[in-house]
Amino acid sequence: MRFLTISLTLALALTFGALQAGAAEDAGQIKVSKGAVQIERSGQRMPAPVGSLVQQGDLVITGADGSVGITFRDNSLLSVGPDSVLSIDRFVFDSTTHQGAFDSSLKQGTLAVVSGKLAKQSPEAMKVRTPAAILGVRGTEFLVRAGAKN
């Protein structure tokens, strides 16, 4: 009986660990959400109220009256304006060494950024792509606008 209990406990622990390892890691959290704001994850769109978590691979979409402020785990602050589409392409951050990578793509709209620990540690670690350019973050604050595709 004791062997069965230990085996069952071990099996549950391994299963739970595998589920956690397979789950996407949260990159940031929505701190401000006004108007129409949605997150598209794995092809599914959902509302994005304050407190929603943002993950690598998410699209953040704002409507004509929408804007959203996101704080990432490295303390980067991103503000997305109305009629915008922002893709969180890659977010990896080691809170001990402050190493990692933060790649995003502004497909249309406006984006204001105050970089966090990642870009301060390694300025080349943060990039924002637009339809016309790739911006490497070398300072701590910037604003970018990308026009809608016709």
Percentage of residues of the chain with pLDDT beyond 70: 80
Determine the pLDDT at residue 60.
Answer: 98
> CB within 8 A of 66, min separation 6: which ones?
33, 34, 35, 36, 37, 82, 83, 84
SS3 call for 64: coil
Residue 121: pLDDT band (50, 70, 90) is: confident
Average pLDDT over residues 130-141: 76
Average pLDDT over residues 121-145: 81
pLDDT digits (tens, 9 = 90+) for 38-73: 999 999 999 999 999 999 999 999 999 999 999 999
Determine the pLDDT at residue 4.
Answer: 36
pTM over 0.85: no
Determine the pLDDT at residue 146.
Answer: 86
Determine the pLDDT at residue 97.
Answer: 92
The yes-or-no verdict on residue 22 having pLDDT over 70 is no
CA distance readout (Å), 83 to 35, 38, 75: 11, 11, 25
Within 10 angstroms of residue 144's Cβ, the number of other Cβ atoms is 16
The residue with tokens 């792509």 is 129
